[in-house]
Amino acid sequence: MAEEIIIVQGNNVLTGDVVVSGAKNSALKLMAATLLGRGTTSLHNVPLISDIAIMSEVLRCLGAQVDRQDHTLVVDTAPVEKWETPYELVSKMRASIAVLGPLIGRFGQARVAMPGGCQIGARNIDMHLVGLEALGVMFVTDHGFLEATTPHGLVGAHVVLDFPSVGATENLLMAAVVAEGTTVIENAAREPEIVDLVNMLNAMGARITGGGSSLMEVEGVPSESMHPCEHTTVGDRIEAGTFLVGGALMGGPLTVHGIDPSYLRMAVMKLESMGCDVQTGADWITVRREGPLAPIDIQTLPHPGFPTDLQAQFMLLAARAEGTSAITENVFENRFMFAAELARMGADITIEDHHALVRGVDGLQGAPVSSTDLRAGAALVLAGISAEGETRVHNIGHVDRGYEDYVGKLCSLGAEVARATVDDVQPSC
């Protein structure tokens, strides 16, 4: 079957203004949260990406009505009567596990397919389960499915997470909001997408305090008191960071609009340390660079630490720096696969367990490469723009999962990038 790829010419141009879409890693959970309000919720600034389409299918499978009107999703969950998600959809997108908490909150039970791992790691959900068990949920695994019941109802508890897991915090929140009594979540995730979810849940009638801090308190309310709302998804900080890296790599100036700069403090600090000039406004960030890229040391950590979802993009910057950089990946166990693809373009990277030593090189050459996860795919396209010659990026389904119209936005910034099917591309012989 013909495969769609992205073809990139190394013209080294990426400058101008681009508006980022709504945050994928928020919108998916906001969609799941609509299950807690029996009625019609309008979600604005929802990105047009394949993961959103899959989550829409998951909600439709449960009985919801989901209509898209441009970047607004209108979700009516009044008709939802099912609490089981099909394996086929969960296996397509592991983030569907985000419906576990709200289904338990709404029905007191759920049957969801166990999410698989992915290229970057096992993606276990033990913290989700331990936390929900503390709230009175009982789990049984049954032929690849997770059966959740609450024989004595959902009861508030004091939960301490081993690790500030984003997904575990979200599932816990969406069950705790309708538990009997108060829930405390210690060592909660602090990502901006968590704050976005807290704001929407509170607009639906929940009583959550401490969103964005590691100590959150949830005062349970009756399930039937939760109601639909209208909510606008925050801008996608990882998409914004990806374009800013492109601007830093090519020199810019490049401005991203529709993003709260406070979401990217660490990434901006690292860009400045590498020799970039960064200006910010209420909802925009501009990057430019005249001098050489300086090497950098990066440790990926939960927010507000350096985001793992920008690790591949900064590895690309480090590959072009004047000197040697060190990158440590502390969040996922296998998120350095991008390095091997970048090496095919001439990068000089040594991987030792969770550490990458990146020796800067003067230039990269275009080459056929393969995207190993959505962030690596986006970074490979940027690498191609900065390289000499043509780059063909395969497995671009990963990119389409998390970047709305990535090719179109790059072209609007002067890049020579296009989608093509392999049949259209003359084999280089």
Shortest spacing between CB 315 and ligand EPZ, in angstroms: 14
Contact between 415 and ligand EPZ by CB under 6 A: the answer reads no
How far apart, in whole angstroms, are the C-alpha atoms of residue 255 and residue 361? 27
How far apart, in whole angstroms, are the C-alpha atoms of residue 232 and residue 234? 6
Burial class (CB in 10 A: 0-12, 13-18, 19+), 152: exposed
Nearer Cβ to ligand EPZ (289/398): 398
Shortest spacing between CB 332 and ligand EPZ, in angstroms: 5
List the one residue from 2, 78, 122, 411 that touches ligand EPZ (CB under 6 A).
122
Asked if residues 284 and 255 have their Cβ atoms less than 8 Å apart, the reply is yes
List the one residue from 25, 50, 233, 255 that touches ligand EPZ (CB under 6 A).
25
How far apart, in whole angstroms, are the C-alpha atoms of residue 190 and residue 198? 11
Burial class (CB in 10 A: 0-12, 13-18, 19+), 2: exposed
Task: Look at residues 11, 54, 43, 36 and name the one whose alpha carbon lies nearest to residue 102.
Answer: 36
Q: Identify which range of 52-60, 117-125, 290-298, 419-427 contacts ligand EPZ by CB under 6 A.
A: 117-125
Q: Identify which range of 2-10, 39-47, 119-127, 417-425 contacts ligand EPZ by CB under 6 A.
A: 119-127
What residues does 286 pair with on adjacent strands?
A: 255, 279
Which residues, numbered 276-315, are part of the site for ligand EPZ (CB under 6 A)? 308-309
Task: Look at residues 314, 408, 410, 422 and name the one whose alpha carbon lies nearest to residue 368.
Answer: 422
Nearer Cβ to ligand EPZ (118/184): 118
Shortest spacing between CB 164 and ligand EPZ, in angstroms: 7
Contact between 38 and ligand EPZ by CB under 6 A: the answer reads no
Binding mask 74-113 for ligand EPZ (x = CB under 6 A): ---------------------x------------------
Parallel, antiparallel, or unpaired: how do β-strands 215-219 and 182-186 relate?
A: antiparallel
Asked if residues 118 and 111 have their Cβ atoms less than 8 Å apart, the reply is no
In the numeric block, which tokens belong to residue 81?
């009567």
How far apart, in whole angstroms, are the C-alpha atoms of residue 270 and residue 257? 20
Nearer Cβ to ligand EPZ (53/425): 53
Q: For ligand EPZ, which residue has the nearest CB?
A: 167
Nearer Cβ to ligand EPZ (68/123): 123
Q: Which residues are catalytic?
A: 118
Contact between 264 and ligand EPZ by CB under 6 A: the answer reads no
Contact between 255 and ligand EPZ by CB under 6 A: the answer reads no
Contact between 344 and ligand EPZ by CB under 6 A: the answer reads no
How far apart, in whole angstroms, are the C-alpha atoms of residue 407 and residue 245? 16
Nearer Cβ to ligand EPZ (175/387): 175
Q: Identify which range of 67-75, 100-108, 118-126, 357-365 contacts ligand EPZ by CB under 6 A.
A: 118-126
Asked if residues 260 and 23 have their Cβ atoms less than 8 Å apart, the reply is no
The secondary structure element, H or E, covering residue 150 is none
The phi-psi region of residue 389 (left if phi > 0; otherwise alpha if psi is between -120 and 50; otherwise beta) is left
Contact between 407 and ligand EPZ by CB under 6 A: the answer reads no
Nearer Cβ to ligand EPZ (76/329): 329
How far apart, in whole angstroms, are the C-alpha atoms of residue 245 and residue 249? 6
Which residues, numbered 155-214, are part of the site for ligand EPZ (CB under 6 A)? 163, 165-168
Which residues would be at the binding site for ligand EPZ (CB under 6 A)?
25, 28, 95, 121-128, 163, 165-168, 308-309, 331-332, 374-375, 402
